[in-house]
Every structure is written in structure tokens, then in C-alpha cells.
Structure 1
Amino acid sequence: MVQPYLSRIDEGERALVFLGGAFSHAMRKGPVLTDVGIVDNDRDAHPDLVPHQPSCAELDLAHAALAAVPARDAPLYARIDVAMGDDGSPVVMELELVEPNLFLTHSPSGLRRFTDLVHERAAAH
């Protein structure tokens, strides 16, 4: 995966979690790469994790990213990682559909929604 460097990445990356196509919760992560040219394989993958209230622009962007997924039904789960572009508008960094960290330990209601959704989808099949 190749990502452009965003000068505002120090403001953190936002992780918007969707369950069954509906927004559940969001977290803000601090920057992972803090020293240019230094590879730190022991670094924390999600440093300085705190709850985040996404803006309307962030939510609109995340919904648009999900709408681009070529599937009949909404994915069981998804995480859309967003950062701020140089002009202050949100940009998608990653659309995580396979084994993302959903930060469910930081959202008790998200954990409950996730387990209910898994149960519901399992019962339907």
C-alpha cells in the first residue's frame, strides 16, 4: 500500500467504524511515523487513541467510501480511516474491510451492536 504524506497528519487520523452499514463510533489516533526515515517495527499501531466525534464532512466521505464497495448488502463491518488534507477537507486514507481493529473495547454500545448484528446475520443464513 502506498499513501501520500499529508502535512496535517500530526492532527491525527480518524477511524470511523460502521456496523452493518450504519455509523457506530469513531476514534482519533495519533501519528504513527514521527521520525522521517526511521523504521520502528515496535511502534504502537494506534498511539494516543481517544474517542472522536466525526464532522459532517467526515461522515459524508465515509458513507461515500462505503457506497463504492461492490456488494449487494452493506458489509458486516468496515473501518474508514480519514485524515485532513492540506486544504482542511477530509480524505480517505484506508477503507478497512478485512480484519480491521474496530476498537470495540472503547465502545461498549458498539460491541453490543456488533454481537447483535453477527447473531442476526447468522440466523438469517
Structure 2
Amino acid sequence: MSKRILILTPNPAHPSHHGRWPYVLEAYREALAGIDAEIFDQPWSEPVTEAFDLIVPLVAWGYHNAPDDFRAAMTALAGQRVFNPPEIVSWNVDKRYLRDLADAGIRIIPTLFVDQVSDSEVARARVDFGQKALVLKPVVSAGAKHTLVWEGDRLTDADAPPEGQAMIQPFMPAIQSEGEWSLLYFAGQFSHAVLKTPKAGDFRSQPDYEANLRTLEAPAAARALADAAIDFIGRDRLLYARVDMVRASDGGFCLMELELIEPDLYLTYDLEASMRFKDAVEAALHVCGCSSPDHVH
């Protein structure tokens, strides 16, 4: 009897449900073609009432629109075979997880976390970071939503600054000159690296904003940083991961984000990536490290 895989998809009540996720889901189905399992899908917002051999939140877009509901949905999956595990996924919802990584000695972009972005907090950050250009973003966000590069003096002049709890970071010039590196891991093992360079005049590295993406050999320092982030979670506890980073002024790398919920895995940019992803999923059907390490809550 073939096994059953459930892929979680967007909440129909959220804007993400009207996006291009069906094409992304179909791409994963194609990547998993030939696997000895039947693949199902349903919105992450609906209770899972049937038994599955593996549940994957890989297309759970829109979680940032209702983070508490999403965490509750993950908690409700306790006892099911979920990869990436619910505890790790819930931890990854709020970008304040970066503090845990920094505390473990993993180099992140210097970050000031605030309850609310204000002119005084911006001024404080400029003193701390020694530069005027800052990145302002919510601690719960996706796809660069409500993220902006800010060099102004009064936030009342800003176009849609983040509301509520947020993070302030120095703008990293390399994001425009070189780009953002994304290193992909399947079942804890490095798969491939993609360099994403924004179009001229932009800072957003997503394909949605016409960034240029290409597969390149990851620099040794980038691999070392990504490996440290993966080891922090535990290689046997991750089915998939994307480690995003940017080069700092000293030539080293700073972690931007550790994407463990629904990252684009950039399978089409590497000829063998789909096979490595398929092998990882097939292995996860038989071995699933669903508990969370002590340092991830």
C-alpha cells in the first residue's frame, strides 16, 4: 500500500490564496513524480482529520497574515509525522529567532528589535550602526511586505512603514552590488546555492521583483555560515531549509534569514536539485525527527 503525503497550502480567506501557489504545488508534485506515495493537499487553516505518513508545510503561504492561527494549526499537528516539525516551524514564524542564532555565535546582520518603529528608534539605530541607510521590517512578514530602506528623517514621510513589533538593520550595500545568497539544504545536506541580484535601483531579491537568479558555487565562507545555522537546529530535524545571507563590508557573510516554513527551494535552477529533494522526502517517509531541539521553542 502506497504511503500518503499531505502538503499544506494557503488559507482561502487570505490574499495568498489568490496567488501563484497552485503552480508551485504542481512543481513539487512533478519533482516527487515516481515516489511511492500519494500526494494530497489542503489549506493549513483547516483541521487535518485523516492519517498521513508525512505532512509538509512547504506551500503554507500567508502564515504571516495570521501568525497566531498558524501556530495553533501547527500545535494541532502534534503527534503527526510533520517535517519540518511543528515546533521548529512555529519558532521560525517570528524573525526574533535571529536572536537565538546570534546568541549561539552565528553571525547575523546587526539588528535592533523594537516594539514600534519610531523616529527615536531610527536615530538610535543610526548611532549604533554608524550609517544613515536602514532596513525597516516587521518581525512577522514574508515577501518583503512592509519592508523598506529608509534614509529619511521623519517616518510620517515613509511609504507604509512596518507597524507593531519590528526590526531595524543597517542596509547592506552588497545586496545591490553582488546580491543575496541562498543556500538550500535537503535532509540536512547541502544541495545547491543561488545568487539573487535585485534589478537596478531595487533592493528586493525575490523573483517577483524581477531579480536575476543564477546557480553558482557557494563561497566557502557562505557554506560555513549556512552549515552553522543548520547545525544549530539539527541536521536530522530538517527536511528542507534555505539559508539566506549577504556579504558584509569585511568580506565575510551575515545571515539574513533561515527559511524553514515555505521557502522557494529554487529546484529549477539546478538540474539535480529535484532528485535530491525527492530523495529527502522519500527518506522522511520512513524516518521523521519530529521533536524539537531544546534551544528551539
Say whether the fold is shared (TM-score over 0.5). yes
Are the equivalent residues in 2 in contact too, given 1:30–1:46 (CA < 8 A)?
A: no
Greater relative contact order structure (CA < 8 Å, 6+ sep):
1
Corresponding residue for residue 115 of structure 1: 278
Please tell me whether Structure 1 or Structure 2 has the larger radius of gyration of its CA atoms: 2
Corresponding residue for residue 252 of structure 2: 89
Are the equivalent residues in 1 in contact too, given 2:199–2:212 (CA < 8 A)?
A: no
2 CA distance for matches of 1:25 and 1:56?
A: 13
Task: Tell me: CA distance 1:44–1:120, structure 2 relative to 1, closer, same or farther (3 Å).
Answer: same
Q: 2:211 matched to 1:47?
A: yes
Aligned residues with identical type, % of pairs: 38
Q: How many residues align?
A: 119
Task: Tell me: CA distance 1:46–1:100, structure 2 relative to 1, closer, same or farther (3 Å).
Answer: farther
Unaligned residue ranges in structure 1 (runs of 5+): none
Q: 2:268 matched to 1:98?
A: no
2 CA distance for matches of 1:114 and 1:8?
A: 30
Stretches (4+) displaced over 4 A: none
2 CA distance for matches of 1:35 and 1:101?
A: 20
Give the match's secondary structure for 2:208.
coil
Give the match's secondary structure for 1:65.
helix
Deviation track 1:26-83 (CA, whole Å, cap 9, x = no partner) reads 11001379358xxx9xx824610011211111100000111222x5823001000111
Selected match of 2:175 from 9, 16, 39 = 9
Task: Tell me: CA distance 1:72–1:107, structure 2 relative to 1, closer, same or farther (3 Å).
Answer: closer
Selected match of 1:59 from 216, 220, 223 = 223
- The within-5 A match list for 1:11-50 is 11-31=178-198, 34-35=201-202, 44-45=208-209, 47-50=211-214
Task: Tell me: CA distance 1:26–1:72, structure 2 relative to 1, closer, same or farther (3 Å).
Answer: closer
1 CA distance for matches of 2:191 and 2:217?
A: 11
Unaligned residue ranges in structure 2 (runs of 5+): 1-138, 140-166, 289-297
1 CA distance for matches of 2:257 and 2:210?
A: 14
Task: Tell me: CA distance 1:56–1:7, structure 2 relative to 1, closer, same or farther (3 Å).
Answer: same
